[in-house]
Amino acid sequence: MSKFEVAIIMGSQSDWPTMKNAAEVLDELGISYEARIVSAHRTPDRMYDFAKTAKAEGFKIIIAGAGGAAHLPGMTAALTPLPVFGVPIESKALSGEDSLLSIVQMPGGIPVGTLAIGKAGATNAALLAAAVLALMNPKIEAALDTFRASRTAAVTEHPIDN
Ligand code: RP5
């Protein structure tokens, strides 16, 4: 069994600056994860092997980031019963709209929970994963409550000059 609760997968090393934001949130919440580069196009066999064994390995949730013709989240979702949250990477050519539409427009029956383009999406994918895990884990529930309370407390009532 994997000692990791969440798998963060991405299509390329170039996705890591975005996906790192998911990793940082999971770190802050004390949720174990493993980050892997798994490309639907360049390493399809690796993608297949990962997705087919992810549940048996003990992962509970997969966060998948990809850009451009972003097939990784959908193909992964087709191969595993685990929940898959997709993060559209902000591509250079089309600013991530290509990634977003590639990930979000899944056919009925194979869901990918699609987040926002870029950093916000990666951050929120981790928070969504935490919210699901919190249903079964009181420690994660408490960590998520603390995280949310700290973000609320950080919002000043009135704007200030920076
Ligand atoms: C996708 O192609 C990756 O997810 C990445 O966002 C995009 C570009 O990859 P690189 O050419 O930077 O490796 O598969």
| pLDDT tens digits for range 67-120 | 999 999 999 999 999 999 999 999 999 999 999 999 999 999 999 999 999 999
Q: How far away, in angstroms, is 93 Cα from ligand 1 center?
A: 12
Residue 3 banded pLDDT, cuts 50, 70, 90: confident
Q: What does DSSP assign to residue 43?
A: -
Determine contact, residues 53/62, Cβ cutoff 8 Å: no
The dihedral built from the CA positions of residue 36, 40, 46 and 49, taken in this order, carries a sign that is positive
Is there an atom of ligand 1 within 6 Å of 102 CB?
A: no
Closest C-alpha to ligand 1, atom 12: 14
Dist CA 119 CA 146 (whole Å)? 21
ipTM: 0.97
How much is the mean pLDDT over the chain? 97
Q: Is 45 annotated as a binding residue?
A: no
- Domain ranges, ordered by start, for the chain: 6-153
Q: What is the pLDDT of residues 45-68, one digit of tens each?
A: 999 999 999 999 999 999 999 999
Q: Which two tokens stand for residue 46?
A: 């690796």
Pick one of 3.40.50.1970, 2.20.28.10, 3.10.20.440, 3.30.930.10 as the CATH number of 6-153.
3.40.50.1970
